[in-house]
Chain A
Amino acid sequence: MLSFVARRIAAAFGTLLLSSVLVFLAVQALPGDVATQVLGKDATPDAVAALRTQLGLDQPAWERYFDWVRGALHGDFGTSLVSGKAVGGEVSLYLGNSALIALITVLFAVTGSIVLGIVAGLYRDRWPDHLISTVSLVGMSVPEFVVATVLVLCFSVALPWFPAVVLYGPEASVGQLLPAVWLPALALAIVMAAYIVRMTRTSVIDVMAGEYVTTARLKGLSTWRVVTRHALPSALLPTLHVIALNVAWLAGGVAVVENVFNYPGIGKLMLSSVQNRDLPVIQAIALVSAVVYVCCNLAADLAAMALNPKLRTRGRTR
């Protein structure tokens, strides 16, 4: 069991390393000279050269990469080309705000959708299944900005319960942001839940049709016991990775929703930094997102280990 955990952690590190290289190469490979972009087309060659030295762009790529990685490990991601402030601090500020949305979204979306998926799977082809499947189909089919816009229409304009736009900056406190969190979270939750519901449903149907569930039924056990003790541990296994993927997706998926609500989160920072070619910020966001992705997958693997004894113990012993 320990070797399984150790191997997974090692793999996670490997992926992270590879991601950092990819991110660095991709961002550095952007065409167009950064210095010229920042200073504008009319800048003098001297000013451009000075900025390039200041940014360290005259060093070879692999040196810059190692500098960056070393700094990142200490939390130093460089300084923003736009605001001049430390990137690490800025990113963590915006990230914290988005984390608030993410927390609420995951809490409600994940638990709700697992339950709905189980119900849909158990009542396959009957009305609860049809209802849940149809709603989840629609939820999947509408882009987040549409859901957000519709929510604004319903709950900010028609019924003024929630603010339509956030007027605070990134330094806003949790208390100030709390009323503004619910609509974005709901918009994201609807889309996320749809995928989890469908995956759970398929998984439950598959497992319930399996031989060991039939055997458990033929032992004379009650349906509740068959479902909770025999079917669910195996049915939830494939769902774990879908959940991990969706949670990791939130890191980027918030961009659209935060744009609609003008919420000061990581998505907003992403958009502005891309527009402004603020390379250190882009790199930092990409790396942080990669960390989130890798952590989510690792968590899913560990949870799978808890549910699947084949991963915990070795094979056949006589």
Chain B
Amino acid sequence: MSGSIVSVNSLSVAYRSGGRDVPVVHEVSLEVAQGRTLALVGESGSGKSTVAATLLGHLRYGSRITGGSVVVDGQDVFALPARELRRLRGSTVALVGQNAGHALTPSMRIGRQIAEAGGSVPVVDLLEQVRLPRPAELARRYPHELSGGQQQRVAIAMAVAARPKVLVLDEPTTGLDVVTQRGVLDLIAALRDELGLAAVLVSHDLGVVAHMADEVTVLRSGRVVEAAPTRTLFTAPQDPYTRRLLASVPRLDDAGLAVVGETGEREVRPKVPVPDDSPVAVSAVDVTVDYGSARAVHGVSFDVRRGEVLALVGESGSGKSTLAWTLAGLRTPSGGTMTHQPGHTDPGDLARPAGRRPLSLRRRVQLVFQNADTSLNPRRSVGDAIRRPLRFFGTADSRPQAAERARGLITDVRLDPDLADRLPAQLSGGQRQRIGIARALAGEPDVLIADEITTALDVSVQADVLRLLDDLRRERQLACLFISHDLAVVRGIADRVVVLRNGVVVEEGPTDAVFASPGHPYTRQLMAAALEPDPDAHPFVEGDTGDLDWEDAAEPDDQWTEHGDGHRVRRWRTADALVTEGVS
């Protein structure tokens, strides 16, 4: 194929474990033409990162090529002698990895690190090219003095310093905030066009792929499932796996959770409205939380009724996780009140740490963690993880009863009860997350706090876990506090939304109302930055609101602009204008 600057032919890679060869990549072939962008899409274990690394002739320790070849700019990468390979890596191919914080040498100034990458472009010019402010001063800083987004831009500058012909990007924006992510992706797109680079983009995020790529190759368990130009793949996917994958991605305009069929049909099941007489399960009024001398949450108030899902949305530093943990009793608020069943004859005080709450109150509020890998004790069986709270909270009186109840709970989360004797390492990520939910249910709570529970899961598993959560809260009339940064997920599952920024509520209201007409510029900025898995998607929010300069205009006795029906927006004004009301 002339014109292809990257050509992978029937590549197979395996690594050695316990005396055997474990295949990671199986006969993968792909082509990238000059100036075009190819996306490698897959879930965890698909081998996409391994394939991307081979473009630089790099294999993880213990892996080797068992077949096929990788040709970049006419050279067989794995047949090159060391010196030629080094030259290839410096000036022909460059890699931008996922975690820039770990990829930059902590003991060297970033200006030096960029200069090391070679090329004739001065460091200051490169830093300007990646839109970093005060480049001369920044070049003298150390990596730990920069934010995540800035570190990633430095990594990009390092990669393009020697003007390579191919840019390999391995999940370049995972872990960054939504708005930062958008900025970095736009930068990559701009540079790619300016320098005429061919790019290979590895991602699990179909929204990113739709936005950036010309061609897409879908990988599953090391094999190519489908390869097509972007528009073709997204509008008319052929393979059932690809269709299921695409169907599982939540969209911003989904008014409920998606149910995906075997061959990829998609059905959005409508939300069941919460009955009006549902009692309030948790009430937080004017909560402030401090970390030492820094204030993380400034006077936040919210209510959650039984059977309702309230979503706390925000980027990092918004205080959403802090609030969740405070409610669970792992942090103490420095001000405000948190009450359990405030309308009841005997409300419980949730402003005390978990150890000081009475047992009966402690079990009513339960937390489900984000990372299923670390939320279960690796040395104990999953059944034990569930039995412990059963015995501790006294919801089961004897050992045999606890064992039986644990099996019952495992069935409730749609898993085979025989899994009770397995260790966490023997279960998949989705199964572990369900066990986490079962463990939370062991205390028979009426409040469930879900802290980013789907963020670390593959897309196809995400949808199942969300549906499970939805079913459970309906069956048991649970009050759910759902923490997330992903607006599309929130749209599907939440009844009401609270948008947080820097510890302050900027907008709150029923989900449909907030998404239909967001009133606060920050909310609009978040929605504008979200990427839909549709190459022809129009921005969700009309108008150019991403760069609107605004500032907070709330007074202590005049904080909100009411939009009716529980939807309200914190007062704001454009930065260089006189006081005006925020009107949607």
Quick check: do A and B touch in the complex, using CB within 8 A? yes
- Given A211-B99, A215-B95, decide whether A307 and B107 contact each other with a Cβ distance below 8 A: yes
How distant is B510 from chain A, measured CB to nearest CB, in Å?
A: 36
Contact B87 A220 (CB under 8 A): yes
Is B393 an interface residue when CB atoms closer than 8 A count as contact?
A: no
- Given A211-B102, A215-B97, A219-B158, decide whether A316 and B89 contact each other with a Cβ distance below 8 A: no
Cβ contact of B108, chosen from A209, A220, A222, A229, cutoff 8 A: A229
Interface flags, B150-192, vs A, CB<8A=1, else 0: 1000010010001000000000000000000000000000000
Interface flags, B48-89, vs A, CB<8A=1, else 0: 000000001010010000000000000000000000001111
Cβ contact of A309, chosen from B61, B107, B162, cutoff 8 A: B107
Cβ contact of A222, chosen from B86, B94, B95, cutoff 8 A: B86
Contact B118 A209 (CB under 8 A): no
Interface flags, A199-214, vs B, CB<8A=1, else 0: 0000000000111111
Contact A310 B89 (CB under 8 A): no
Contact B87 A211 (CB under 8 A): no
Task: Give the complex CA separation of A214 and B155 in angstroms.
Answer: 13
Task: Give the complex CA separation of A67 and B88 in angstroms.
Answer: 73
Task: Give the complex CA separation of A221 and B113 in angstroms.
Answer: 11
- Given A218-B58, A220-B89, A318-B147, decide whether A210 and B108 contact each other with a Cβ distance below 8 A: no
Is A317 an interface residue when CB atoms closer than 8 A count as contact?
A: yes
Interface flags, A274-318, vs B, CB<8A=1, else 0: 000000000000000000000000000000000111100111111
Task: Give the complex CA separation of A212 and B61 in angstroms.
Answer: 15
**Considering the complex, which residues of chain B in the window 80-127 have a beta carbon less than 8 Å from any beta carbon of chain A?**
86-91, 94-95, 97, 99, 102-108, 116-118
Is B15 an interface residue when CB atoms closer than 8 A count as contact?
A: no
Is B142 an interface residue when CB atoms closer than 8 A count as contact?
A: yes
Contact B91 A212 (CB under 8 A): no
Contact A230 B144 (CB under 8 A): no
Is B555 an interface residue when CB atoms closer than 8 A count as contact?
A: no
Task: Give the complex CA separation of A136 and B104 in angstroms.
Answer: 33
Is A143 an interface residue when CB atoms closer than 8 A count as contact?
A: no
Within 8 Å CB of B104, what residues of A?
212, 215
Task: Give the complex CA separation of A70 and B469 in angstroms.
Answer: 70
Contact B95 A218 (CB under 8 A): yes
Is B565 an interface residue when CB atoms closer than 8 A count as contact?
A: no
- Given A215-B95, A219-B158, A220-B118, decide whether A310 and B108 contact each other with a Cβ distance below 8 A: no
Q: Is the interface of A mostly helix, strand, loop or mixed?
A: helix
Within 8 Å CB of A308, what residues of B?
106-107
Within 8 Å CB of A221, what residues of B?
86, 90, 116
How distant is A231 from chain B, measured CB to nearest CB, in Å?
A: 9
Contact A209 B61 (CB under 8 A): yes
**Considering the complex, which residues of chain A in the window 247-268 have a beta carbon less than 8 Å from any beta carbon of chain B?**
none
How distant is A11 from chain B, measured CB to nearest CB, in Å?
A: 21
How distant is A202 from chain B, measured CB to nearest CB, in Å?
A: 16
Q: Which residue of B102, B107, B158 has the most chain A CB atoms within 10 A of its CB atom?
A: B107
Is B272 an interface residue when CB atoms closer than 8 A count as contact?
A: no
Contact B89 A219 (CB under 8 A): yes
Contact A212 B89 (CB under 8 A): no
Within 8 Å CB of B107, what residues of A?
230, 233-234, 307-309
Q: Which residue of A215, A217, A222, A310 has the most chain B CB atoms within 10 A of its CB atom?
A: A215
Q: Which residue of A209, A233, A316 has the most chain B CB atoms within 10 A of its CB atom?
A: A316
Number of A-B residue pairs with CB-CB distance less than 8 Å in the complex they form: 83
- Given A218-B58, A230-B108, A234-B107, decide whether A316 and B147 contact each other with a Cβ distance below 8 A: yes
How distant is A234 from chain B, measured CB to nearest CB, in Å?
A: 6
Task: Give the complex CA separation of A262 and B160 in angstroms.
Answer: 67
Least CB separation from B117: chain A residue: A219
Contact B103 A211 (CB under 8 A): yes
Is B359 an interface residue when CB atoms closer than 8 A count as contact?
A: no
Within 8 Å CB of A316, what residues of B?
144-147
How distant is A214 from chain B, measured CB to nearest CB, in Å?
A: 7
Task: Give the complex CA separation of A315 and B88 in angstroms.
Answer: 36
Cβ contact of A234, chosen from B95, B106, B145, cutoff 8 A: B106
Contact A212 B105 (CB under 8 A): yes
Contact A220 B90 (CB under 8 A): yes
Contact A218 B89 (CB under 8 A): yes
Is A104 an interface residue when CB atoms closer than 8 A count as contact?
A: no
Task: Give the complex CA separation of A233 and B105 in angstroms.
Answer: 10
How distant is B160 from chain A, measured CB to nearest CB, in Å?
A: 12
Least CB separation from B60: chain A residue: A214
Least CB separation from A208: chain B residue: B61
How distant is A313 from chain B, measured CB to nearest CB, in Å?
A: 6
Within 8 Å CB of B108, what residues of A?
229-230, 233
Contact B105 A315 (CB under 8 A): no
How distant is A125 from chain B, measured CB to nearest CB, in Å?
A: 11
Contact A212 B58 (CB under 8 A): no
Cβ contact of B145, chosen from A216, A220, A313, cutoff 8 A: A313
Least CB separation from B142: chain A residue: A309
Task: Give the complex CA separation of A211 and B145 in angstroms.
Answer: 18
Cβ contact of B105, chosen from A230, A313, A314, A317, cutoff 8 A: A230
Within 8 Å CB of B116, what residues of A?
216, 219, 221, 225, 229
How distant is A71 from chain B, measured CB to nearest CB, in Å?
A: 43
Within 8 Å CB of A315, what residues of B?
144-145
Within 8 Å CB of A307, what residues of B?
107
Within 8 Å CB of A230, what residues of B?
105, 107-108
Contact B142 A220 (CB under 8 A): no
How distant is A223 from chain B, measured CB to nearest CB, in Å?
A: 9
Within 8 Å CB of B99, what residues of A?
211
Given contacts A215-B104, A218-B56, A218-B94, 6 further A-B contacts (CB under 8 A): A212-B102, A216-B116, A220-B90, A220-B118, A229-B116, A234-B106
Write 14 A-B pairs (CB below 8 A) sorted by A numbering.
Answer: A212-B105, A213-B105, A216-B105, A217-B58, A219-B89, A219-B90, A219-B94, A219-B118, A219-B158, A220-B117, A229-B116, A314-B145, A316-B146, A318-B150
